[in-house]
Amino acid sequence: MALVEIAAPAFDVFVDLRYATADNLTGNPIYRRAACYLREEAAALLRRACELARPLGLKLCIFDAYRPPAAQWALWNHMPNPDFIADPKRGSHHSRGVAVDLTLAAPDRRMLEMGTEFDAITPLSYHADTAVSPEAQRNRLVLLGLMSAAGWDFYAKEWWHYQMFQPRGFPLIEDGAMAPSLM
């Protein structure tokens, strides 16, 4: 098992790891540094999504990827809502290195309108919510199409969350394994 760092130039993405800043639902940094990792298999799917976005003049902006279990506990302890935060006792798909939170961006880093912010704990965050603007609905569908075509599965309650199919088939990656300086 190996984790791959997701960063330019190897990946044509922007990285804005929100849990390395206070700009997240906890209001506090959870990671010590903004380093983005995925399992090799997930990294290959992300690379394919980048290739599909490029002809549309779009890039992907990554908010989160591999999340150490201790970070999952920090999120759960802040807001134990199983609709939006995976119970760390069961294990998060992020803590398996097979999930990514992301959005679409223009080449100038301007993020496209999605109707809510990343990590908005509200039904407005659901993929199929029609209370958001038509522009946001369209952008969510473009993201869904790109990610699905690249081989990703989605989580219906978070427009930003994608995961590999059958994620529980991958073991949890414990804190300190492969990405020790995240926490």
| Residue 62: CA count within 13 A, CB half-sphere | 28
Instruction: Based on the residue annotation, tell me whether 158 is a catalytic residue of this protein.
Output: yes
Tokens 């939170």, located at residue:
101
Catalytic residue among 5, 41, 117, 158: 158
Instruction: Give the integer Cα–Cα distance in Å for 164 and 154.
Output: 8
Distances (CA, A) of 173 to 39, 45, 98, 168: 10, 19, 10, 12
Give the residue numbers annotated as catalytic, written as ranges: 158
